[in-house]
């Protein structure tokens, strides 16, 4: 059992030597599903948000909608263009919430979908569930595992053996319905982090909303989970301040307003996100391919542009860390694995998980990122919006509650 802590403050002021590190407990994303389970009469023994007792809970993850981005899309925000892009969602920020519930949550480390889905699905910190990055090295096979795409050689349950909250709810007689893209129905990520219950596949958000409303009206004790990735995709491709991103936010907001209106009165609606996002101009990136001296003593280049994880050749960790600190200066926080674990980046960390974490971690600040054009695909190199680091913009997500 993880000891519960008070909710994290809504905003923090990071300094040049202090990244925004989660205090894992009820102020983080991992406390959402345990809170939903408790509201349905299923205690998990994990830190849980204090939601009221209800018959049904519907939890929505809007991928990539950080707290700062939602603020900016609201009335008077710098991205609102004299109109409110998200009237329903921003309106929920002023709705009274259950006592003890913060208005924002910290998602964990790294601030990336695979890691956040692990924390969300298990209620445990990354150092325990083990999904500690976008691309991380399998210490047994010595190769990178992309935890969004997975591979046929890694058993998801062996990789992430902890029970999921969905599974605990099913065992307690709760009707669990998970709604997302059809291709993720049996994916490695889904099995690892979200196994348990029935999966409903649908492409469009409108169809997913229809499925959630139908599930809530079955008059059973139910936990409904709806995932939407459109906001994240628009931000990655066009930037999280772009016209395309604003259009996607408007459409998402309208559909979630329809969801709230269609749920029965004994259903609690909880909306949050898995991480925020920042735009990174290509001119602000460090390309390892143009600095071959920085590649020295690196065996595997993992992580992602805002949270690079370097796996070093034997005995070269300190040398690589020093070299990267000199190269990035104040543009990033550089830590060895031992330093990051000691600072609590991943929460309590088990030995089986520690070996998956990069020997050297580079967490970007400001509008900085690290790429390697010699290794990465052109499509990934073209991305504008990024996340993964421990800045406030990437770490803090909204916690919106509506219903009973």
User: Are 188 and 319 part of one and the same domain?
Assistant: no
Is 150 inside any structural domain?
yes
Instruction: Assess contact for 308 and 112: CB atoms under 8 A.
Output: no
Q: What is the mean pLDDT of residues 242-257?
A: 97
| Interacting residues of 351 by C-beta distance below 8 A, sequence separation 6+ | none
Is 23 inside any structural domain?
no
User: Are 268 and 287 part of one and the same domain?
Assistant: no
Using the structure block, give the residue that is written with the tokens 């408790």.
38
pLDDT at residue 78 in the model? 60
Q: What is the mean pLDDT of residues 337-359?
A: 98
Residue 170 has pLDDT above 80, yes or no: yes
Number of folded domains that form the chain: 2
Residue 3 has pLDDT above 80, yes or no: no
pLDDT at residue 81 in the model? 53
User: Are 299 and 254 part of one and the same domain?
Assistant: no
User: Are 146 and 186 part of one and the same domain?
Assistant: yes
Using DSSP's 3-state secondary structure scheme, residue 362 falls into strand
pLDDT at residue 139 in the model? 96
Q: What is the mean pLDDT of residues 35-40?
A: 99
Using DSSP's 3-state secondary structure scheme, residue 397 falls into strand
Is 378 inside any structural domain?
yes
Is 130 inside any structural domain?
yes
Return the CATH number at 178: 3.40.720.10
User: Are 327 and 183 part of one and the same domain?
Assistant: no
User: Are 271 and 358 part of one and the same domain?
Assistant: no
Q: What is the mean pLDDT of residues 188-208?
A: 98
Q: Which pTM was predicted?
A: 0.94
Using DSSP's 3-state secondary structure scheme, residue 44 falls into coil
User: Are 39 and 113 part of one and the same domain?
Assistant: yes
pLDDT at residue 226 in the model? 99
Q: Which of 6-20, 149-163, 176-190 has the lowest mean pLDDT?
A: 6-20
Residue 193 has pLDDT above 80, yes or no: yes
In the beta sheet, which residues pair with residue 87?
Answer: none
pLDDT tens string 86-130: 999 999 999 888 999 999 999 999 999 999 999 999 999 999 999
Give the whole-angstrom CA distance, residue 383 versus residue 195.
31
pLDDT tens string 274-324: 999 999 999 989 999 999 999 999 999 999 999 999 999 999 999 999 999
In the beta sheet, which residues pair with residue 398?
Answer: 104
How far is residue 329 from each of residues 294, 323, 326, 358, measured CA to CA in Å?
Answer: 14, 10, 6, 20
User: Are 196 and 119 part of one and the same domain?
Assistant: yes
Q: Distance between alpha carbon 373 and the CA centroid of its chain, in Å?
A: 26
Task: State the alpha helices, DSSP H only, in 239-302.
Answer: 243-262
pLDDT tens string 46-81: 999 999 999 999 999 999 999 999 999 987 666 555
Nearest to 70 by CA among 276, 268, 306, 281: 276
Report the first-to-last Cα separation within the chain, whole angstroms: 29
Instruction: Assess contact for 121 and 46: CB atoms under 8 A.
Output: no
For the chain, percent of residues with pLDDT exceeding 90: 89
Using DSSP's 3-state secondary structure scheme, residue 359 falls into coil
| Pairing, β 135-137 against β 144-146 | antiparallel
Greatest Cα-to-Cα distance within the chain, rounded to the nearest angstrom: 63
Domain that holds residue 91: 29-279+391-403
Is 1 inside any structural domain?
no
How far is residue 225 from each of residues 58, 137, 250, 269, 342, measured CA to CA in Å?
Answer: 6, 30, 21, 10, 34
User: Are 204 and 90 part of one and the same domain?
Assistant: yes
DSSP 8-state symbol, 298: E
User: Are 263 and 304 part of one and the same domain?
Assistant: no
Give the whole-angstrom CA distance, residue 114 versus residue 182.
18
pLDDT at residue 76 in the model? 66
> Can you read off the two tokens belonging to residue 187?
């994916």
Mean pLDDT of the chain: 94
Is 24 inside any structural domain?
no
**Given phi > 0 = left and psi -120 to 50 = alpha, else beta, which region is 161?**
alpha
pLDDT at residue 160 in the model? 98
User: Are 339 and 232 part of one and the same domain?
Assistant: no
Rounded to a whole number of angstroms, the CA Rg of the chain reads: 20
How far is residue 287 from each of residues 88, 290, 305, 371, measured CA to CA in Å?
Answer: 41, 6, 10, 5
The string of DSSP codes covering 323-339 is: HHHHHHGGGEEEEEHHH
pLDDT at residue 363 in the model? 99
Task: State the alpha helices, DSSP H only, in 14-55.
Answer: 32-39
Is 18 inside any structural domain?
no
């Amino acid at each position: 059992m993880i000891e519960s802590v008070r909710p994290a403050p809504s905003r923090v002021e990071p300094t040049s030597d202090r990244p925004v590190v989660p205090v894992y407990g009820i102020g983080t994303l991992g406390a959402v599903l345990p809170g939903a389970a408790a509201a349905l009469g299923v205690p998990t023994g994990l830190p849980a948000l204090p939601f009221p007792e209800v018959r049904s809970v519907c939890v929505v993850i809007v991928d990539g909608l950080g707290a700062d981005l939602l603020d900016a899309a609201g009335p008077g925000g710098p991205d609102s263009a004299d109109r409110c892009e998200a009237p329903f969602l921003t309106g929920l920020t002023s709705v009274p919430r259950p006592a003890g519930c913060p208005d924002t949550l910290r998602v964990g480390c790294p601030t990336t979908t695979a890691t956040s889905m692990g924390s969300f699905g298990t209620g445990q910190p990354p150092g325990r569930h083990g999904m500690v990055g976008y691309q991380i090295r399998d210490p047994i096979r010595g190769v990178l595992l992309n935890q969004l795409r997975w591979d046929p050689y890694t058993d998801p349950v062996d990789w992430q053996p902890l029970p999921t909250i969905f599974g605990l709810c099913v065992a307690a007689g709760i009707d669990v319905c998970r709604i997302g893209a059809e291709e993720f129905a049996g994916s490695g990520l889904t099995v690892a982090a979200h196994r348990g219950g029935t999966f409903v596949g649908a492409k469009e958000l409108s169809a997913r909303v229809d499925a959630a409303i139908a599930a809530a009206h079955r008059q059973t004790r139910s936990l409904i989970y709806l995932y939407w990735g459109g906001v994240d995709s628009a931000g990655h491709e066009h930037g999280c301040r772009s016209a395309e991103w604003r259009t996607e936010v408007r459409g998402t907001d309208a559909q979630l307003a329809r969801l709230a209106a269609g749920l029965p009165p004994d259903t609690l609606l909880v909306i949050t996100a898995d991480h925020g996002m920042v735009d990174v101009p290509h001119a602000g990136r460090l390309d390892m391919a143009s600095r071959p001296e920085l590649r020295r003593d690196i065996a595997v280049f993992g992580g992602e542009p805002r949270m690079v994880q370097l796996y070093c050749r034997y005995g070269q960790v300190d040398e690589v860390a020093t070299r990267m600190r000199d190269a990035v200066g104040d543009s990033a926080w550089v830590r060895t694995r031992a330093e990051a674990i000691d600072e609590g980046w991943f929460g309590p960390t088990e030995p089986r998980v520690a070996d998956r974490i990069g020997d050297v971690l580079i967490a970007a600040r400001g509008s900085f990122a690290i790429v390697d054009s010699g290794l990465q695909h052109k499509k990934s190199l073209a991305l504008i919006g990024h996340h993964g680091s421990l800045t406030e913009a990437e770490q803090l997500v909204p916690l919106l509650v509506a219903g009973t």
